[in-house]
Structure 1
Amino acid sequence: MKVIKFGGSSLASSHQLEKVLAIVRADARRKYVVVSAPGKRFSGDTKVTDLLIQYARQTIHRQDTTTTAQTIIERYAEIGHGFNVADEQLEPIFKTIRDLPKQAYADNTYLMAAFKAHGERLNAQLVAAVFQQSGLNARYLDPRDAGMVVTDVPDDAQIIASSYPQIERWANSDQILVIPGFFAYNRNGQICTFSRGGSDITGAIIARGVHAERYENFTDVDAIYAVNPSLVPQPAAIPEMTFREMRELSYAGFSVFHDEALIPAIQGDITVNVKNTNHPEAPGTLIKSSREPNLNAPVTGIASSSSFCALYLRKYLLNKEVGLGRKILTILETHHISYEHMPSGIDDLTIIFDEHQLTPELEQTLVQEISAAIHPDEIHFNHDYSILMLVGENMRNRVGIMSRAAGALAAQNIKLIMVNQGASEISIMFGIHDQDADRAVVALYNEFFK
């Protein structure tokens, strides 16, 4: 059987849901349908999740919520009425929306999590009703009933391993089970959401739990592309890639998957197929544990991200000082900060961070504490920093990839601040200035794909 997941753009309207219905009908093995909240119907539209966030903030600040609640209700009403779902079937959904501010929440973080999660929860209930109205043997399956239990972190929950035997009870279902993505419940029965890409995470969890033969992730693109299509017109599609390649590219900004979203599928060794709801006949991109080598295509994809910063420090004879690294890492651990990379020289050290962890005040504190601990000759943060990734399983078997990449960047007068080849030899990372990032991606694409 297959687990299929539909993103918000695939469920934005009754017109889009018609396509989803046809996709489910086209393959009897598609027994588990994971849904996101309704997304944008057109440019300038507002996602239901964003409306729910607005609704939550108005509730927290005791503002009038009437207009926002009605706007959310109308989004679900349009979808239901498009399939002639009776108002008496829709009324429980509408009542739930109106009653959200009346519920008891542990604090405002749990309130926000619960409001956001109802975008998926109510949409799954509505999709199940539409399927039933259309003659399918379908039912709504709540994450609680599915057996999904998560850690007690309202907006960044992790699945608890003991959930998987519970989910396995739903394997080989006779019915089509419609499951909301993005959230589950902690041991206290409170709603907690996953992080970015939460519905993708739910799909992967269900696929692993029921031992699916394939996890089909339907979105609004025909395939995963070798480079961001906004930078290169009609870039090459990637027919298949490995989980490791996907993780490396997601880390550097590939937007198809959040880099943690596929971990349950990786753990269960389940092939993922990224497909287009609007063109379901297209083969899409397969993501799996291994693939046949292709020495004629050493590079699979190229990505860049500007969400990094670097702490540079210089100290004479730095490489001779025993315990220096431990002192720095202890300070980072005290402030609950992880680092990404730490390239070094004999007198220099650069520590690269995901800058979302930092604030100007925290940066100043780190500089002060590290200065007091190791007394560097120079120390400062650099925010003009982007990471550029060149990724491909077949790079391990080819000589000269680094030379070609560096040459292509040099031809565009792009300065390299840092170079690091991954331990797995399937990725090369370049540190460059922010203003050079887009040109660098295009330069590498032209070198390896044109």
Structure 2
Amino acid sequence: MKVIKFGGSSLATGAQLAKVVKIVQADATRQVVVVSAPGKRSKTDVKVTDLLGQLADQVLAGKNPEALIETILARYTEIQQHFALTDDVVARLRQHLQRLAKATYPGVDYLRSAFMAQGEHMNAQLVAAVMAHLGMNARFVSPKELGITLTGKPGAALVDEESYGRLAQFVLQPGEIIVVPGFYAYDEAGNILTFARGGSDITGSILAKGLAADLYENFTDVSWVYAADPGIVDHPRAINTLTYREMRELAYAGFSVFNDEALIPVIEAGIRVNIKNTNQPDAPGTIIAPTKNVQHHHHITGVAAKKGFTALYLHHYLINQEVGFTLKLLQILAKYGVSYEHMPSGIDDLTIIIDENQLTPQIKDQIAAEVRAQIHPDELEWLPDFAIVMVVGEGLYARPDLVARIMVALADAGIEPSVINQGASKIGLMLTVPTAKAAAAVSAIYALSCHKQEAAATK
């Protein structure tokens, strides 16, 4: 049995959904279909999820939401009409949204989470109705019926591990197709919670693990995972196979094809993932698999850049001999709900790389004041406007001179990394560069990876 997930671009219109139907019909083992909300139909279009966010804002402001409800439902009406669906699913969806707008919630975050989840919820109902209309043995199944429960906060939910035991007991009938909404589930109190990002990917991965799938197929709008962003590098090479940890590193650093968090359940279960293209379903796509099943032909599998980082730099003599120095610093960050990405250090210096989305000018001032009061650094400075560049490859450790060659390639491009960090696994090299030079850094390293001496098969 396969779990198969479709992204928003694959479900944006009736014509796109028709492709999805054919893909499901082409393989009888594709029995679990996870759907996103309808995505953009063009570059200037608005995603249904974003429209639902606007709807939540209107409800919170006490405005009449009817006009925006009709705008949202127009997306589903187009799909319903494309298939000449006799069952008026959209009429039921209208009543559902109207009830949602009048309901009460534990707080503002819960209200927003409930509204943001409706794109997937309504789309799963419509997709199931379309498939049944076309003679397929398909039905809508909610996360609650599957036994999935979440913990945590709205917009940052985590799966309750007990969900996997309940999923294992779910009976999937022979020849049956279930359509499941991605992105959300319920907590023990019955409130809707959503995942932080890439939520439908996470749902698909949870189902693949819980239902013991043979393969998790993730359909999107690209045929492969590429070794570099095609928006930066012209015609980068496609990656046929890569390891779980390579994909996690690359996804973290900005590969938008797959969310790094979404891999965790399938990694735990050892289930392979196949990234495929809804518009070119016969292309083999990229397989993500355990390390033992992957044979590389390049020492550098991929290079990616992620923007939007700030560094907190501290200088204090003999940091390495002061017991509890780092603990005190991390406790201050935790007080303000700030996590860190990397923390390279020396005997007198320490740099903490932080996602700047967690910071405001006020929080930065408060953190700096507490650090000065409690830790007494000789120097403290916020260094803004960094990008993280990740060079990833299971074969990095096979060429002892490769890091040096990367540094030379960057120097030739006039780029000086401010932080260089390679973990003990040696499959990932992290560099920080000025945001304005991130694309040039990716291009320079990718060009190096294409050199003949770097493209030899890893022994």
TM-score band by shorter chain is: over 0.9
User: Given the superposition, is the C-alpha separation of residues 210 and 171 from structure 1 closer, same or farther in structure 2, using an over 3 Å criterion?
Assistant: farther
1:79 corresponding residue in structure 2:
79
1:293 Cα deviation (Å)?
6.2
User: 8 Å contact 2:254–2:305 — kept in the other structure?
Assistant: yes
1:322 corresponding residue in structure 2:
323
1:294 Cα deviation (Å)?
5.0
**How many residues of Structure 1 are paired with residues of Structure 2 in the alignment?**
450
1:334 Cα deviation (Å)?
2.8
User: 8 Å contact 2:220–2:276 — kept in the other structure?
Assistant: yes
User: 8 Å contact 1:36–1:119 — kept in the other structure?
Assistant: yes
1:430 Cα deviation (Å)?
1.0
- Counterparts of 1:68 and 1:7 in 2: how far apart (Å)? 23
2:106 corresponding residue in structure 1:
106
> CA offsets per residue over residues 270-323 of structure 1, 9 Å max, x none?
100000000000011000112456564101110111222111111233333333
- Counterparts of 1:25 and 1:253 in 2: how far apart (Å)? 33
1:229 corresponding residue in structure 2:
230
User: 8 Å contact 2:151–2:158 — kept in the other structure?
Assistant: yes
Paired residue type of 1:226: A
User: Given the superposition, is the C-alpha separation of residues 85 and 443 from structure 1 closer, same or farther in structure 2, using an over 3 Å criterion?
Assistant: same
> CA offsets per residue over residues 163-185 of structure 1, 9 Å max, x none?
11111123543210000000000
Paired residue type of 2:26: A
User: 8 Å contact 2:308–2:385 — kept in the other structure?
Assistant: no
User: Given the superposition, is the C-alpha separation of residues 87 and 140 from structure 1 closer, same or farther in structure 2, using an over 3 Å criterion?
Assistant: closer
Identity of aligned residues (%): 49
User: 8 Å contact 1:294–1:394 — kept in the other structure?
Assistant: no
1:441 Cα deviation (Å)?
0.3
1:401 corresponding residue in structure 2:
402
1:194 corresponding residue in structure 2:
195
What TM-score, normalized by structure 1, do the two folds share? Answer: 0.97
* Residue 141 in structure 1 maps to residue 147 in structure 2: no
3-state DSSP class of the match of 1:16? helix
User: Given the superposition, is the C-alpha separation of residues 418 and 89 from structure 1 closer, same or farther in structure 2, using an over 3 Å criterion?
Assistant: closer
3-state DSSP class of the match of 2:69? helix
1:383 Cα deviation (Å)?
0.8
User: 8 Å contact 1:207–1:215 — kept in the other structure?
Assistant: yes
- Counterparts of 2:367 and 2:348 in 1: how far apart (Å)? 20
Of the structure 1 ranges 266-275 and 283-292, higher mean CA displacement relative to structure 2 is found in 283-292
1:68 corresponding residue in structure 2:
68
1:161 corresponding residue in structure 2:
161
1:90 Cα deviation (Å)?
3.4
Of the structure 1 ranges 390-399 and 215-224, higher mean CA displacement relative to structure 2 is found in 390-399
1:368 Cα deviation (Å)?
1.0
* Residue 446 in structure 1 maps to residue 459 in structure 2: no
Paired residue type of 1:273: N
- Counterparts of 1:92 and 1:210 in 2: how far apart (Å)? 30
1:373 corresponding residue in structure 2:
374
- Counterparts of 1:286 and 1:420 in 2: how far apart (Å)? 28
Of the structure 1 ranges 275-284 and 247-256, higher mean CA displacement relative to structure 2 is found in 247-256
User: Given the superposition, is the C-alpha separation of residues 352 and 43 from structure 1 closer, same or farther in structure 2, using an over 3 Å criterion?
Assistant: closer
Paired residue type of 1:63: K
- Counterparts of 2:36 and 2:155 in 1: how far apart (Å)? 16
2:308 corresponding residue in structure 1:
307
1:329 Cα deviation (Å)?
2.3
Within 5 Å, which residues of 2 pair with 1:196-211? 196-211=197-212
1:46 Cα deviation (Å)?
1.1
Task: Name stretches of at least 5 consecutive residues in structure 1 with no aligned partner.
Answer: none
User: 8 Å contact 2:241–2:294 — kept in the other structure?
Assistant: no
- Counterparts of 1:293 and 1:209 in 2: how far apart (Å)? 24
User: 8 Å contact 1:293–1:394 — kept in the other structure?
Assistant: no
User: Given the superposition, is the C-alpha separation of residues 322 and 115 from structure 1 closer, same or farther in structure 2, using an over 3 Å criterion?
Assistant: closer
> CA offsets per residue over residues 196-251 of structure 1, 9 Å max, x none?
00000000000001100000000000111111110011111110101100111111
1:56 corresponding residue in structure 2:
56
3-state DSSP class of the match of 2:291? coil
- Counterparts of 2:55 and 2:269 in 1: how far apart (Å)? 38
2:253 corresponding residue in structure 1:
252
3-state DSSP class of the match of 1:280? coil
User: 8 Å contact 1:171–1:210 — kept in the other structure?
Assistant: no
User: 8 Å contact 2:229–2:304 — kept in the other structure?
Assistant: yes
1:108 Cα deviation (Å)?
1.8
- Counterparts of 1:293 and 1:161 in 2: how far apart (Å)? 29
2:411 corresponding residue in structure 1:
410
User: 8 Å contact 1:171–1:211 — kept in the other structure?
Assistant: no
3-state DSSP class of the match of 2:313? strand
User: Given the superposition, is the C-alpha separation of residues 292 and 161 from structure 1 closer, same or farther in structure 2, using an over 3 Å criterion?
Assistant: closer
Paired residue type of 2:134: S
Of the structure 1 ranges 305-314 and 281-290, higher mean CA displacement relative to structure 2 is found in 305-314
> CA offsets per residue over residues 69-104 of structure 1, 9 Å max, x none?
111111111101111112534321222123321222
3-state DSSP class of the match of 1:351? strand
User: 8 Å contact 1:241–1:291 — kept in the other structure?
Assistant: no
- Counterparts of 1:247 and 1:447 in 2: how far apart (Å)? 22
1:410 Cα deviation (Å)?
0.5
3-state DSSP class of the match of 1:120? helix
3-state DSSP class of the match of 2:32? strand
Paired residue type of 2:261: E
Task: Name stretches of at least 5 consecutive residues in structure 2 with no aligned partner.
Answer: 452-459
User: Given the superposition, is the C-alpha separation of residues 201 and 421 from structure 1 closer, same or farther in structure 2, using an over 3 Å criterion?
Assistant: same
Question: How big is the alpha-carbon RMSD for the aligned residues of Structure 1 and Structure 2?
Answer: 1.4
